[in-house]
Amino acid sequence: MSTFTIFLILIVIVAFLLVVVVMVQNPKGGGLSSTFGGGGTQQLGGVKKTTDFLDKSTWALATLLLVLILLSNLAINSGGATTESRALDNDATIPVENVIPETQQNPAATPTDSTGN
């Protein structure tokens, strides 16, 4: 298994977790914390910790996703294949034979002059 495949699997897992964490949150500030009775005032050590955890995990997963994407780009570039072109290599000579095909004259065709007659 190549390193790029490992990075790809990790990226998919982190992206799925990020979607789950974002979907659990409520955009109006309620979210999971309002489900457990955290109305207007947040309790100390209880529901307030839930929103803090969701907020921190969102930022951590987004940062991890960005880092994994950048590292996977390095894994692609450092693969086993060479990235240099053979066109720039002086030693690589490719024989060229019959690159331009010879034009064949059709004896049955009548030539036309430049006036269009």
Q: What is the pLDDT of residue 29?
A: 55
Between CA 49 and CA 38 the distance in angstroms is 11
Is 29 inside any structural domain? Answer: no
User: What does residue 105 show for φ and ψ, rounded to 5 degrees?
Assistant: -85, 135
Between CA 37 and CA 39 the distance in angstroms is 6
Q: What is the pLDDT of residue 7?
A: 92
Is 89 inside any structural domain? Answer: no
Is 31 inside any structural domain? Answer: no
Q: Whole domain around residue 13: which residue ranges?
A: 1-19+52-77
Is 70 inside any structural domain? Answer: yes
Q: What is the pLDDT of residue 13?
A: 96
Is 37 inside any structural domain? Answer: no
- Low-confidence residues of the chain: pLDDT under 70: 27-48, 78-117
Q: Terminus-to-terminus CA distance in the chain, angstroms?
A: 70
Number of domains in the chain: 1
Is 106 inside any structural domain? Answer: no
Q: What is the pLDDT of residue 42?
A: 47
Q: What is the pLDDT of residue 76?
A: 84
Q: What is the pLDDT of residue 39?
A: 52
- Among candidates 24, 103, 92, 100, which has minimal Cα distance to 58? 24
Is 46 inside any structural domain? Answer: no
Tokens representing 3 are 């390193």
pTM strictly above 0.75 = no
Tokens representing 35 are 């489900």
Would you say 33 and 42 are in contact if contact means Cβ atoms under 8 Å apart?
Answer: yes
14, burial (CB in 10 Å: exposed 0-12, middle 13-18, buried 19+): buried
